Amino acid sequence: MSVSELTPDDEKATAVADSAAPASKRDLNIVFWIFPAFFGVFGIVFVPLLRVIPPPRPDVGYAGMISFFEAHHTTIRIGLVLLCLAFGGAAVANGYVAYQMKRMTSGPVFAYVYMGGMAVGVLPGMLLVAVCFDAASMRLDRAPRVVGFLYDLGMLSFNGSLGCFSTAYLAFAIAILLDRNKIFPKWLAYLTIWQIVTELLATMMWVLPAGPFAWNGSMTFWLGTAIFAIWLNCQGLMLKKATDQQPAGTRPPE
């Protein structure tokens, strides 16, 4: 329907749509695909390259930590190069989820909480460990205590930055439960609550250096990562569904 054919009744309905929103969803689709692309790169960087997932042991001595960096210093630096190029994708992925959240009847405030929480979390939760590991790998002849410091600082910040993410997830879950537009399905809210529970468990990583509750423990790490992987895939799939179901030419309210 072109602008000239609009009747006065249509005016209000398309008022938002008319202000330069294109009638195709190409922009949404481009942005959506950055989400899986970024997380794909994230997986490659953090698993085989940086070796942060699965994590190196917390209960090794300085010699063990040094040998870790000696063994992996090449892949760690390749990982950093990739991460530096790609980590803007985190902002896009989180921003796009927030965009879809703005379409909910629960209002835009939860979207901003989500975006804020995730944005703050990414510094300790993603970048710091990468930088610490690269700094340690760059000069392998540092004093063992210094190497150990970088090792611990990196791993603790990666695992411990859960508060930011928990807040963001809480906003996401509540927004979905209150939403009457059904942008995301209710079961995704419940999965998100499980995510929050795993973050609660992860607080034990700060306290115990070994065993099932350490940063490499079965309870805190392995189970938590399994649930995270499931949750992330579900969020991505539902994000695609929300993108597909968004009527072309509309945009969320301001």
Partner 1 sequence: MTESRSESAVLPDPPAAATAKAPHLPGDGAIWVMVLGDMIIFGAYFLIYMVHRAMTPEAFLAAQQHLNVTVGVINTLVLLTSSWFVVRGVCAARDGHPERAARLLCGAGACGLAFIAIKAYEWSTEISHGYTVHNGFFSFYYVLTGVHVFHVTLGLLILGLCVRELSVPARRRISFVEQGATYWHMVDLLWVVIFGLLYVMR
Window 128 to 187, contacts with partner 1 (CB under 8 A): 177, 179-180, 182, 185-187
N- to C-terminal Cα separation, the chain: 24
> Minimum Å distance from CB 170 to partner 1?
11
Count CB neighbours of 142 within 10 A. Answer: 16
What gap in Å lies between CA 101 and CA 103, rounded to an integer? Answer: 5
8, 12, 20, 207: which one binds partner 1 (CB under 8 A): 207
Stretch that binds partner 1, among 30-38, 59-67, 68-76, 207-215 (CB under 8 A): 207-215
> Minimum Å distance from CB 250 to partner 1?
21
Residues 6+ apart with CB under 8 A from 193: 169, 173
Q: Binding to partner 1 by residue 211, rule CB under 8 A? A: yes
Residues 6+ apart with CB under 8 A from 203: 160, 162
> Minimum Å distance from CB 236 to partner 1?
18
Please name the helix (run of DSSP H) or strand (run of DSSP E) that holds residue 158, with its range, or none. Answer: helix 144-160
What gap in Å lies between CA 5 and CA 10, rounded to an integer? Answer: 9
What gap in Å lies between CA 117 and CA 111, rounded to an integer? Answer: 10
Q: Binding to partner 1 by residue 245, rule CB under 8 A? A: no
- Nearest CB to partner 1, comparing residues 134 and 179: 179
Q: Binding to partner 1 by residue 212, rule CB under 8 A? A: yes
29, 74, 218, 245: which one binds partner 1 (CB under 8 A): 218
- Nearest CB to partner 1, comparing residues 202 and 239: 202
Site of tokens 């569904």: 241
Q: Binding to partner 1 by residue 116, rule CB under 8 A? A: no
> Minimum Å distance from CB 57 to partner 1?
17
Q: Binding to partner 1 by residue 213, rule CB under 8 A? A: yes
The torsion angles phi and psi of 58, rounded to 5 degrees, stand at -80, -20
Q: What is the dihedral sign for C-alpha 164, 167, 173, 178?
A: negative
Is the CB of residue 65 less than 8 Å from the CB of residue 151? Answer: yes
What gap in Å lies between CA 246 and CA 254, rounded to an integer? Answer: 16
Window 177 to 206, contacts with partner 1 (CB under 8 A): 177, 179-180, 182, 185-187, 190-191, 193-194, 197, 200-201, 204
- Nearest CB to partner 1, comparing residues 92 and 193: 193
> Minimum Å distance from CB 178 to partner 1?
8
The torsion angles phi and psi of 146, rounded to 5 degrees, stand at -70, -45
**Which residues contact partner 1 (rule: CB under 8 A)?**
177, 179-180, 182, 185-187, 190-191, 193-194, 197, 200-201, 204, 207-208, 211-213, 218-219, 223, 227
